[in-house]
Amino acid sequence: MTQDINILNSNKNDITDEESLKQLSFIEKAKEHVDSLSRELGRNLTACVVTFGCQMNARDSEKLLAILKLAGYEESESENADFVIYNTCTVRDNADQRVLGRLGQCSNYKKKNPHMKIAICGCMMQEQSAVEKIQKSYRFVDLIFGTHNIYKFAELLYTTLLSDRMIIDIWKETDKIVEDLPVLRKYPFKSGVNIMFGCNNFCTYCIVPYVRGRERSRSPKDIIRECEKLSADGVKEVMLLGQNVNSYGNDFKDGDPNKISFPQLIEEVCKIEGLERVRFMTPHPKDFSDELLETIKRNPKIARHIHLPLQSGNTEILRRMNRKYTKEQYLELVYKIREMLPDVAITTDIIVGFPGETASDVDDTIDVVNKAQFDNAFTFIYSKRTGTPAAGFPDQVPESEVKENFDRLLKVVQETARKQSEKLTGRTEEVLVEGINEHDNSLLTGRLSNNTLVHFKGDEKLIGSIVRVSLDECHGFYFMGQMV
């Protein structure tokens, strides 16, 4: 067996502003290699980026794809490509299992294509046990790296192209943010913008603080500059991304001119000409301020959608989840939002089956759903993540026992979402046209400011613009409408 190359000497303190220049030179070197291989084979080389998980990962994948394209690869939707990279998620176990299944399938392509390189990166790779598993049972993988050194992808790509060995480069942590790396947007008219990385909340079920590290905010200047560039490039909608956007800037020292609050930041972003919609994801209910509500109210550009993860409606479960709010405090916030911003859609995340949760605890969650009247909710079965405090809690609930509670909750969630959606019937709203309908290409698909989907007849030239559409028929979570 060939020996793996474990890059242990990477010094996180080496990262400077020149880093992006260094990475650009690696892209050029990789391109020379790719071009020469392409001449040899008499065909273009292809690359496929497979993304699991959240909006943060989707944004990271846009950076990976940009580097691969600049290095001379053609984008491929199929994993039967010359370079395949899996950007993984590890929030729940089923995401881990899915990626391992896909990886297994991918090895069959590699058997037929000796030039193929397979890489795996992202949150799952920040867990030692996952890396060990790949090293042991997935020997055909060429490159493994984590979340903290993704900015080094060009360099790692180049090293991988020259090597026959498995390259592994995982950092435990970082306190730096590298700006100005290339990025290729999936949609020309909308884009995510990272405002901060990491999380300090340590909800007891959650692996994110361990794999994404502590909170690090980007400077407001860099964020505004990125948004201005996006707007100049035709982007109409930005989504400001962070695990807990309400704590944006808390890591700046007092007196630092960079220290502004999240509401101040979003207000600045709204001033950028050409941007029509500003979204954000995700706020934590425990520090959702009145200042933020007032900012949303004042700024029609801020999307009428707040995603407000509930997780549980039972105060004792919330305490054990370390969420730092009670059932009543959460509901109070929802009532305040509904009163101040009656047009705002509120969506949520809920976990069922947390250790020790009983049917009566789930009744509390259902009670909150009924009272909050969520416009949509993502419901998850609790997944035990090794290394988190909750993994060691007694009374882990077997999945077979969770199912009934999960189904009860889902029924109420769906009924509530439908009722909320139906309220919009007959209204005429602004819609950002996102693309051609997947099932019927005579239709366009777009989104309301409150995130509701609507399908309607129209010309594909309208993609990326905002049009007015009457919401004629409600079909649960989407509408059929007509342009007016």
Closest distance of CB 100 from ligand 5AD, Å: 18
Side-chain-side CA neighbours of residue 255 (13 Å): 0
Rounded to an integer, what distance in angstroms lies between the CA atom of residue 252 and that of residue 220? 11
Q: Classify 426 as helix, strand or coil.
A: coil
Closest distance of CB 310 from ligand SF4, Å: 11
Say if CB 175 and CB 12 are below 8 A apart.
Answer: yes
Handedness of CA 176, 179, 182, 188 (dihedral sign): positive
Residue found under tokens 């008219």? 189
Closest distance of CB 349 from ligand 5AD, Å: 3
Q: Nearer to ligand 5AD by C-beta: 182 or 209?
A: 209
Q: Nearer to ligand SF4 by C-beta: 117 or 284?
A: 284
Q: Nearer to ligand 5AD by C-beta: 92 or 277?
A: 92
Q: Nearer to ligand 5AD by C-beta: 197 or 205?
A: 205
- 199 makes contact, choosing from ligand SF4, ligand 5AD, none, with CB < 5 to 8 Å by partner type, with ligand SF4
Residues 6+ positions from 51 with CB-CB distance below 8 Å: 57, 58, 61, 87
Q: Nearer to ligand SF4 by C-beta: 7 or 391?
A: 391
Q: Nearer to ligand SF4 by C-beta: 141 or 206?
A: 206
Rounded to an integer, what distance in angstroms lies between the CA atom of residue 275 and that of residue 449? 13
**Residue number with the smallest Cβ distance to ligand 5AD:** 349
Closest distance of CB 446 from ligand 5AD, Å: 25
- 209 makes contact, choosing from ligand 5AD, ligand SF4, none, with CB < 5 to 8 Å by partner type, with ligand SF4
Q: Nearer to ligand SF4 by C-beta: 160 or 244?
A: 244
- 201 makes contact, choosing from ligand SF4, ligand 5AD, none, with CB < 5 to 8 Å by partner type, with ligand SF4
- 210 makes contact, choosing from ligand SF4, ligand 5AD, none, with CB < 5 to 8 Å by partner type, with none
Rounded to an integer, what distance in angstroms lies between the CA atom of residue 475 and that of residue 473? 6
- 202 makes contact, choosing from ligand 5AD, ligand SF4, none, with CB < 5 to 8 Å by partner type, with ligand SF4
Closest distance of CB 215 from ligand 5AD, Å: 16
Closest distance of CB 123 from ligand SF4, Å: 11
Q: Classify 308 as helix, strand or coil.
A: coil
Residues that bind ligand SF4 (CB under 6 A): 199, 201-203, 206, 208-209, 243-244, 284
Q: Is 148 exposed, middle or buried (0-12, 13-18, 19+ CB in 10 A)?
A: buried
Rounded to an integer, what distance in angstroms lies between the CA atom of residue 324 and that of residue 265? 25
Closest distance of CB 244 from ligand SF4, Å: 5
Q: Give one word for 153, left, alpha or beta, with left for phi > 0 and alpha for psi -120 to 50.
A: alpha
- 382 makes contact, choosing from ligand SF4, ligand 5AD, none, with CB < 5 to 8 Å by partner type, with ligand 5AD
Rounded to an integer, what distance in angstroms lies between the CA atom of residue 435 and that of residue 446? 7
- 349 makes contact, choosing from ligand 5AD, ligand SF4, none, with CB < 5 to 8 Å by partner type, with ligand 5AD
Closest distance of CB 350 from ligand 5AD, Å: 7
Q: Nearer to ligand 5AD by C-beta: 123 or 351?
A: 351
Residues that bind ligand 5AD (CB under 6 A): 91-92, 205-206, 309, 311, 349, 351, 380, 382-383, 385
The CA distances from residue 7 to 10, 19, 279, in Å, are: 7, 18, 38
Q: Is 209 exposed, middle or buried (0-12, 13-18, 19+ CB in 10 A)?
A: middle
- 385 makes contact, choosing from ligand 5AD, ligand SF4, none, with CB < 5 to 8 Å by partner type, with ligand 5AD
Closest distance of CB 205 from ligand 5AD, Å: 4
One-character DSSP codes across 238-304: EEEE-TTGGGTTTTSPTT-TT---HHHHHHHHHTSTT--EEEEE---GGG--HHHHHHHHH-TTB-S
Q: Nearer to ligand SF4 by C-beta: 182 or 389?
A: 389
- 416 makes contact, choosing from ligand SF4, ligand 5AD, none, with CB < 5 to 8 Å by partner type, with none
- 243 makes contact, choosing from ligand SF4, ligand 5AD, none, with CB < 5 to 8 Å by partner type, with ligand SF4
- What residues does 124 pair with on adjacent strands? none
Cis link prior to 282 (omega < 30° from 0)?
Answer: yes
